[in-house]
Structure 1
């Protein structure tokens, strides 16, 4: 294995190196997803999703043509899911140039946060959990 050039793109992530550290961005990939969704308007959303939205597989009406939805997401193409997906893509459009800075000067303290809800999935009552891990000031997972 040879190191031929400085890292610029890796798995859809743009990497920019500076004395402050590495800046990671998915602007190019997000633009491609927005383009595939054929969102021709320029609307953006300030928030990712409405507070306390619980979607399930029976909400809304089935889409007439689920092809676009399936190209961007997985299955269960209902009207409410498509509307939520469009909102998420509009949020991405508004935050497209944000990214992560992996700082070269932060400490090596490992800090983790976790949260979950109990039986929050409206379809099968499974619990939903999430976590963040920081190495110094840098989000790593």
Structure 2
């Protein structure tokens, strides 16, 4: 895809000389992803795919819910093994592909996929709740709009020891090119963080690596000039560590991540700035949220409904 028809025609000609290809015109449905034109862009959604998942789970008639995860945990959680673990794995795996156009599902699906090896009835109930949320948002997808800005900016966030089982932290980030979300991640950290600053700094190192890669890709395809990317973090300790070497002696256990991010900041490749927690977009990737907060951040990720005719 591109905005130069001559270059596109030349590329198609070269491809057709080597491979047997057929030009199908504008994309409408590809790999389960539908493309719906909006006034100022396109909406990527997986309506058919979501409907198919609900049919496989036998939940087409269930009532929808406003959020995929409850903010409060039940007083007692069942540890009884689920009687059909293959079904659980199949549907949880299908939900993973749904996050391609639904970043608002990333945290919930990440939790579900942590129990693939031995799901319990409690995990199945959680999966059904996610599907009930999907049922109520069948018309939603990821919106990509025309943007006059080429600024690259990213939001990084992490909880601290949020998993009650192994006390590992969950980190997430969202990378925007202009106004469009182009990359996002929700994952549990591989090691236990000894402080909230360490947990946040690990997340910062991950998004720094992602931004550097996206910068390289944009330069390769000829997008220039590119302003210095901005990384937004709501932890003052992690923010100060990027610019103030005096904190290094207190955090030698994260020395590799420290040097990686610090070197990029010193070279002027990125900027790390503080942002209040209330404006932290990546908050949606790290914990269950109440409906008002969840909906607010979902809108910030450009997850919207199909425009009415």
Question: C-alpha separation between the residues in 2 aligned to 1:118 and 1:63?
Answer: 30
**In proportion to residue count, which structure has more helix?**
2
- Match in the other structure for 1:80: 122
Higher RCO structure, 1 or 2 (CA under 8 Å, sep 6+): 1
Unaligned runs of 5+ in 1: none
Q: In the alignment, is residue 44 of structure 1 matched against residue 64 of structure 2?
A: yes
Question: C-alpha separation between the residues in 1 aligned to 2:163 and 2:142?
Answer: 29
Question: C-alpha separation between the residues in 1 aligned to 2:91 and 2:72?
Answer: 23
Question: C-alpha separation between the residues in 2 aligned to 1:46 and 1:25?
Answer: 18
Q: In the alignment, is residue 107 of structure 1 matched against residue 149 of structure 2?
A: yes
- Match in the other structure for 1:70: 89
- Match in the other structure for 1:61: 80
Aligned-residue offset at 1:42: 2.9
Question: C-alpha separation between the residues in 1 aligned to 2:60 and 2:171?
Answer: 34
- Match in the other structure for 1:11: 31
TM-score, normalised to structure 2, is 0.41
Question: C-alpha separation between the residues in 2 aligned to 1:105 and 1:19?
Answer: 13
Number of aligned positions between the proteins: 138
Matches within 5 A, 1:111-130: 111-130=153-172
Question: C-alpha separation between the residues in 1 aligned to 2:60 and 2:51?
Answer: 12
TM-score, normalised to structure 1, is 0.84
Question: C-alpha separation between the residues in 1 aligned to 2:177 and 2:87?
Answer: 38
